[in-house]
Amino acid sequence: MRTSLFKTGLLAVLAILLSVQLSGCSFQLRGSDGEFANAQLQLISLRAEPDADSGIKSGIAELLPKTIDLQSVQTVVPLTNASNEQMAQEVFLVLSSTQKQNKRTAISVVGETTAEFIRWVQPYQVLNLKGEVLFSDEAFAYRDRQMDPQGLMAANQELYEINQQMATEIAEQIVRRIQFMATPR
């Protein structure tokens, strides 16, 4: 009886110590402090194809630190005589068409879709002021979802939320990559 009470008390003390240590732990997520590797970057000119997902564009705007201005542009006009200082302050982000695929992975006895695999790919490029490609990459997100053919309203709401999550995930990948890019040439 006495040892079991001792063990219970010891476990309670250990649990309290562990929770105090974890709550005092002040780790930071990548990008949470808003500092970029290229601290001189002040402006990103965003050019997006008409069929690039709007959720990705708004996600990028929300994730960028407030010190960086994001402007939408229709065309990229390179400045051939840009100085190194100007090139460190501004880059062009070009979003190509968002590629969205939904693939049926399961069907019911009556032929209705009961599961699908959703895949989004967002190709993009970052250019310096002279129009030179600093890097090209693709951001992507995948989801697998189960659907009840009888609950169409719930399935539509779930799909809406999945689309928002995927757009945010892709925007995070793009911003992280820009955040850690090298100072432009």
Answer whether residue 111 shows pLDDT above 90.
no
Region 14-34: mean pLDDT is 53
- The tokens describing 125, both together, are 């490029």
- The tokens describing 111, both together, are 């032929």
Answer whether residue 184 shows pLDDT above 50.
no
What is the DSSP code (8-state) at residue 68?
A: S
Region 97-114: mean pLDDT is 91
Whole-angstrom distance, CA of residue 161 vs CA of residue 167: 10
pLDDT digits (tens, 9 = 90+) for 80-102: 777 777 777 888 999 999 999 99
- The tokens describing 45, both together, are 């000119």
Looking at the chain, which runs of residues are DSSP E strands?
43-48, 69-72, 90-95, 99-107, 113-127, 133-146
- The tokens describing 7, both together, are 């063990």
- The tokens describing 84, both together, are 């190194």
Of the candidates 84, 76, 104, the one whose C-alpha atom is nearest the C-alpha of residue 40 is 84
Give percent above pLDDT 70 in the chain.
Answer: 83
Superfamily per CATH, domain 2-179: Lipoprotein like domain (3.30.160.150)
Q: How confident is the model at residue 20 (pLDDT cuts 50, 70, 90)?
A: low
**Burial profile 59-88: b = 16 or more Cβ within 10 angstroms, e = fewer:** bbeebbeeebeeeeeeeeeeeeebeeebbb
Whole-angstrom distance, CA of residue 166 vs CA of residue 15: 36
Structural domain spans, the chain = 2-179
Of the candidates 34, 27, 67, the one whose C-alpha atom is nearest the C-alpha of residue 179 is 34
pLDDT attached to residue 17: 66
pLDDT digits (tens, 9 = 90+) for 125-137: 999 888 889 899 9
pLDDT attached to residue 19: 67
pTM recorded for the entire structure: 0.73
Answer whether residue 28 shows pLDDT above 60.
no
